[in-house]
Chains A and B, each alone.
Chain A
Amino acid sequence: MCGINGIFAFHPSAAAPSRDEALRTREAMQTRGPDGFGLWSNSGGRCVLAHRRLSFLDLSERAAQPMLSDDGKLAITFAGEIYNFPALRAELEAQGVVFRTTSDTEALLHLYARDGEAMVEKLRGMFTFGIWDEPRQGLFLARDPYGIKPLYIANDGWTLRFASQVRALLAGGAVSRDPEAAGVVGFHLWGSVPEPFTLYRDIRALPAGHTQWIDKAGPRAPQPYIHFASILAEGARAPLAAAQIAPEVRDAVKDSVAAHLLADVEVGVFLSAGVDSGAMLGLMRDAGCSNATAITLSFAEFRGSSEDEAPLAALVAQKYGAKHIVRTVGEAEFRADLPAILAAMDQPSMDGVNTWFVAKAAREAGLKAAISGLGGDELLAGYASFRDMPRWRRHFGALAAVPGLGALARAMMNVALPGFVRANPKALGMLEYAGSWEGAYLLRRGLFLPHELPALMDKDFVAEGMRRLRPLTQLSGMLSPDPHSNNGRICVLESEHYMRNQLLRDADWAGMAHSLEIRTPLVDIALLRRLAPAIAALKPGMGKAALAAAPSIALPAEIVSRAKTGFGVPTRAWMAAAARSNREDLAETKGLTSRRWSRKVLENFVPPVGTSQAGALAR
């Protein structure tokens, strides 16, 4: 997985990059890469690349990074895995390319030398990398289609810095902590900071599925090389017949799981009592991984209840011959780990605690990599949003289209039933937002609604943040061109917003904090392309049923019929307690706990002092 960073002084007036700064940034990412490290500078001294290594392919020193091409014209620092590396290598070797390592890193150098920036279209995997091109005196950055791996950029107009983590860029000491109103407001809206924004104005994410070229003219605008809405629109043109869906899901997911097992180390699996992770284990077995280590979390609070995943997970593990480890976590451990959790959280998140503990357990079991079923709900219409959003649009869309009606109703209810409005802050939002897909999605995933924000922060700061963030415009941009199916639209929104900004980011920081690579076969661009015709045709429940039947030995019926809980943990009560000084009102709703917890998390991020917005974060 690794951690990467670099500094490019692209402007002729800029001082040469500081190696000390590059080292400070790199060393802030130690847990991302405990197996090795490197630092490289180009001959002109204008570009420095650095790397922290967590090795999976070619564990030898010859595969250390930054890695140079044979002719010394290219240098790369790379984090991630290229799952189609064997095929790419075979293709390159057939064309006369000679490899000196067995690492996927070297393949990237050869591909860039052959295809230039178009190389990214050949890649299947999770990746971010920077390639220094000495003949062109420029830097090429790239990020995988889904944004599984993070890459952040800080450009001050003279010098561009990049790193796998926001905190690492700040640790370098040369990047401002001035707050980005769009990032702060975005966090309150969604519970995670929507990319490309971060909490800091001078740091932005390279958007998922984009590349960026930087030369003496500065950074070119990020260029997209993938477009989810187009893929789903294309799929909707020829939707699969119902009878074809299950076989297609089986073949496609089987192929993806097999690809994601590429490693020179053991790859384990996170196992809950749900369909997604169980299917992963079953398909791992089909791919020849017959004695995989499966990690399940258990909680004393759930023992004996339907929420306890351990018994059903044990059943699945036994069925597929896995080595099953059940790790019990309690509130005392949560409290003990809380400072470390908040310190590892690269950007504020209202979630991720569950991933922290399962990653911790996997690392304790000696694993460096684990398969996760993350992404199944987005891909195969598993979320309630696939059912709710079309319904909301049908029932409230016409009313929401009446200008001002929603705001008027809200004002009246505030006077007539203030208690109801406080306890159900989203209920009235139906009349304001259900008129569009992006509005309905804000209702579905929003932590706070826009009209609630001025009660939390300075209202001018909120207005500025909303103006810069433009949340509904951002969402509607994802839906162009129209994916031509409800499933397609919601798949795009869930994949490009919630999964990218929340789930994948949480998987990254929580996994990397334990030097564990989390692999996600259901978050795979080749899989999406293949299943796009199926997604358009899915009826409720059909996708998960197909996934459950995908392994050659299908999942037990108990798993399929069990109400979906995912990797549930009793963290709601723990979070509520941690976010309050007393526990007297423990009966609050899940939504209110999330809101309270999000405020607690944000407090952990140093308020940028000395700015006009300093109070905005602290209020």
Chain B
Amino acid sequence: MLALVPDAFGGRGGIAQYNRDFLTAASTAPGIEQVEILPRHAPDAFTLPPGLRQVAPGEGRIGYILRALSMALSGKIGVIFCGHINLVPLAALAARLSRSKLVVQTHGIEAWGDPGEPYRGALESADLVLCVSRYTRAQVLSWGAINPERVAVVPNTVGSMFTPGDASALRTQWGLTGKRVLLTVARMDARERYKGHERVIASLPSLPGDVVYVVLGEGDDTARIEAFAQDTGVADRVLFKGGVGRDVLIEAYRMADLYVMPSTGEGFGIAFLEAMASGTPALGLAVAGATDALCDGALGIAASEEDFAAALARQLAAGKPDPKALSAAVLARFGSETFTACTRSVLKRLLQG
């Protein structure tokens, strides 16, 4: 398998994480002897699991294209994996030239609207289109003339480091002892204003005074959201902690009483899973891919936009459920074993077909 990806190992962000998870699982699938990864970017150091080989990123667009075609035509490739819709014309060409099967991964908002030619035609030539959520799948099928059986859902998986545990130290460190903590982990990017920070902040005045909202993440929209908290009169109840390292993130998830992210634009919403795997209940909107992470309300709460404020109050009043039971339920549906089994079964179907 040749993987053409924007980034994977050594990359940052959700798409890089998904690609790492998928390619690691794919390397264990029957019929896949080797996974060769050609990323566009790999800024960080990394360690590769067995069965994978990642070459250095191509230099510039032309260099990347030549490298991709050269690898595809090496004679060893049977499957081309395309990790982002932006790369699909190249991946489709590589698949056609090498007579390989084409697998295209779609994530979120980048695949929700018709990308036009040549992206649409290239995607329609895929043997298998993978989507992170049912919503993304439905959107792809709305503009792509492709048989529905060739469009499958392989959702995000949650890292094994996200487990329940004691987070009193962080609570003390951040001065939150005796408070009830709402948490959102998301980029604060002007292009991602759908995350819903303002909706949570706007709800604070109607919630009891011991409720504090902790916001993790950074981005060019931070100042605007801070100003909104100021204007709403709750600046003293909103803690902007910026970007944090992995260890603090894990502690923050454990510490929170409720993870809340009323986003209207999630491809999936991996943070919901991370919070629930850490034993913290999650509240989002029944909109787009978030319904998958929340399992239509079976794992988390998927509220309507109208009912969001009331659902938030209800959930805070209900308190935190058994963290271990919640974590176990999340792992059963989205743990690495489930993800690997899911990946292997769709690849098996692809290779049989």
Q: Which A residues are closer than 8 A to B by beta carbons? A: 11-13, 15, 155-158, 176, 178, 201-202, 204, 215-222, 467-468, 470
Contacts and interface: CB of A to CB of B under 8 A. Distances in A.
A157 B342 contact: no
- A157, A217, A470 — most chain B CB neighbours (10 Å): A157
B298 interface: yes
Interface stretch (B53-61, B185-193, B344-352): B344-352
Given A13-B333, A157-B131, 20 more contacts: A12-B333, A12-B341, A12-B342, A13-B153, A13-B295, A13-B334, A13-B338, A13-B342, A15-B296, A155-B148, A156-B137, A157-B137, A157-B138, A176-B138, A216-B341, A216-B345, A217-B152, A218-B346, A220-B149, A220-B353
Interface stretch (B95-103, B139-147, B197-205, B310-318): B139-147
B150 interface: yes
A11 B342 contact: yes
B107 interface: no
29 contacts: A12-B341, A13-B292, A13-B338, A155-B148, A156-B134, A156-B138, A157-B131, A157-B133, A157-B137, A157-B138, A157-B152, A158-B134, A158-B153, A158-B292, A201-B141, A204-B148, A216-B341, A217-B346, A217-B348, A218-B149, A218-B152, A218-B349, A219-B148, A220-B349, A221-B149, A221-B353, A222-B149, A467-B145, A468-B145
Nearest to A16: B298
Nearest to A181: B142
A222 B147 CA distance: 10
Smallest CB-CB A-B distances: 10 pairs = A157-B153, A217-B345, A217-B349, A157-B137, A157-B134, A221-B149, A13-B333, A468-B145, A12-B338, A15-B298
Contacts of B284: none
B155 interface: yes
A interface secondary structure, majority: loop
B283 interface: no
Contact of A202 (B138, B149, B353): B138
Contacts of B348: 217
A441 B6 CA distance: 48
B151 interface: yes
Nearest to A212: B149
A470 B141 CA distance: 16
Contacts of A178: 138, 142
Contact of B142 (A157, A201, A220, A470): A201
Interface of B: 131, 133-134, 137-138, 141-142, 145, 147-153, 155, 292, 295-296, 298, 332-334, 338, 341-342, 345-346, 348-349, 353
A15 B134 contact: no
Nearest to B142: A201
Contacts of A13: 153, 155, 292, 295, 333-334, 338, 342
B130 to A, nearest CB: 10
A259 B353 CA distance: 38
Nearest to B152: A218
B57 to A, nearest CB: 32
Contacts of B142: 178, 201
Nearest to A159: B134
A149 B345 CA distance: 32
A470 B334 CA distance: 39
Nearest to A12: B338
Contacts of A202: 138
A204 B150 CA distance: 14
Contacts of B342: 11-13, 216
Contacts of A221: 147, 149-150, 353
A11 B339 CA distance: 11
Contact of A15 (B153, B295, B338): B295
A435 to B, nearest CB: 25
Which residue, B296, B332, B345, has most C-beta atoms of chain A within 10 A? B345
B125 to A, nearest CB: 15
Contacts of B137: 156-157
A202 B139 CA distance: 11
A12 B152 CA distance: 13
A271 B333 CA distance: 58
A145 B21 CA distance: 43
A218 B151 CA distance: 9
Interface centre among A15, A201, A217, A220 (most CB of B within 10 A): A217
A11 B295 CA distance: 12
Contacts of A215: 345
